[in-house]
A and B are shown apart, each in its own frame.
Chain A
């Protein structure tokens, strides 16, 4: 079977090309791990969005609301479980984070269900209205977050077991980034397996290509879409929780800040493609970290430049989805 490995090669090529520029082996490894961890967190947030766009052509600019809500809910749970977070036991620390993440996913998923019903459903097939209405939804959600949690930022402290770094010779790797990578890879593996090995996965892939034909085969694509929307929102909540802990602060604007990177990732990857989203997220994470180290003044625009270069090479993204 012919597979397109070229976009995948961009990751080692980017890493290898940055090595002589960074100069130091230990700095390069630290930056690479930081980039992969950041990329995987963005992937978690972006994967649901790319599928909802692919399935129903829905441009959901309100996706940032699920990220923000996830971050706030997780912060509340972690603050409430302060004793577990502050304990010296890794298991208690992980249990607190696990509960926080589960709560974040549950609330973001439920919010996603309501958001789809109230905001997205009336504007199916109308891109301009989708952009306006979902952006409005994001703004309203941000204000509601301030109403519920107050206008001040919440400061989070990582649990003792996830603070600091592991030293491998000269190389320092932050423990939290390793956890972020592990969770990101687990989410990617679960999504990849679901899409490749299950009937639901086949239906989602087929629906991304041609929803009308899936309906003609007797399947209700609307229900499928609602399911994907809820799962995507829950994943955004998971990503938001992890991003909040990564930054160690949570503000109402967290979703709006990250959503730009999320959109860059799904455009680079090819709208509707989970594999493309994964590769795009890693490229964005690595680029942000290498450029942030080498030329901090241009770091802000580096991902836009990356997107422009990739779209010049592949205008439909790295792994374009065959659309009818």
Chain B
């Protein structure tokens, strides 16, 4: 069996005196899309931030492509080919769309072919190329946040609630873009509350509960098991959009 691209074992994270993660363990296989699901407060965002080094794991091992990254600084983790899209999007509001993407293209000038592909998926970014990003709508900001993560090839994308507050038409574009990404070079780990989106895109699933991973497996099997969904999420995937 191939070694997973990302592997967490016994990861514990504290924020101040609060213990948020209590020994998270799961794998992300290379080349697919793993959905990280769970109730509010289960520790999904903390898990992504811990992988990214934004919060330091107090214990445990985080291995990416065979290297332990648990003690590495965030810029070093990013340079290994991991991109992060936070729930808040964290676009640079005073910078134009163009400037946001110039900064994200760390290794040099933006590749025009890749940019054209991004424009084909997120047309608004082309239209507002020279507009300060703070003037974009919520959906456009989300497009920019995702575009920033994919402006250069990355091995792993960590994306926190990409569909939050988005119109269905934009979600459709997002689904198409993620599908192309996972069919191409990237591996994705996505936190999502929109179960319809999760079910359409996910190859694998890890479900968190109270700072631990309570279930891992294939998305198709999980989507078919209403009892398990009810047990872990408190509702079925069919009842929530």
CB within 8 Å of B: which residues of A?
A: 1-2, 199, 202-203, 205-206, 209-210, 212-221, 321-322, 324
In the assembled complex, the CB of B4 is this many whole angstroms from the nearest CB of chain A, namely 22
B78 and A212 form a contact (CB under 8 A): no
CB within 8 Å of A: which residues of B?
A: 52, 54, 73-75, 78-79, 83-84, 86, 88, 90, 92-95, 99-100, 102-104, 106, 130-132, 134-135, 148
In the assembled complex, the CB of A299 is this many whole angstroms from the nearest CB of chain B, namely 35
Could you pull out 15 A-B pairs where Cβ atoms are within 8 angstroms?
A: A1-B131, A199-B102, A202-B95, A202-B99, A202-B103, A209-B92, A213-B86, A213-B90, A216-B78, A217-B78, A217-B148, A218-B75, A322-B93, A322-B134, A324-B88
A206 and B78 form a contact (CB under 8 A): no
Please judge, given known A-B contacts A202-B99, A212-B54, A213-B86, whether A218 and B94 are in contact too, CB under 8 Å. no
User: Which residue of chain B is the closest to A323 with respect to CB atoms?
Assistant: B93
Cα distance, A324 to B106, chains bound together (Å): 22
Chain A neighbourhood of B95, CB < 8 A: 202, 205-206, 209
Chain A neighbourhood of B106, CB < 8 A: 217-219
Excluding A209-B95, A216-B84, 6 further A-B contacts by CB distance (< 8 Å) are A202-B95, A205-B92, A206-B100, A209-B93, A215-B75, A324-B88
Cα distance, A206 to B83, chains bound together (Å): 17
Partner of B103, one of A217, A220, A321, A322: A217
Cα distance, A1 to B86, chains bound together (Å): 27
Chain A neighbourhood of B148, CB < 8 A: 217
Chain B neighbourhood of A322, CB < 8 A: 93-94, 134
User: Which residue of chain B is the closest to A206 with respect to CB atoms?
Assistant: B92
B90 and A210 form a contact (CB under 8 A): yes
In the assembled complex, the CB of A221 is this many whole angstroms from the nearest CB of chain B, namely 8
A219 and B90 form a contact (CB under 8 A): no
Partner of A212, one of B90, B94, B131, B135: B90
A206 and B54 form a contact (CB under 8 A): no
Cα distance, A228 to B95, chains bound together (Å): 19
Most buried by A among B74, B86, B106: B74
B103 and A215 form a contact (CB under 8 A): no
A213 and B78 form a contact (CB under 8 A): no
In the assembled complex, the CB of B97 is this many whole angstroms from the nearest CB of chain A, namely 11
User: Which residue of chain B is the closest to A272 with respect to CB atoms?
Assistant: B94
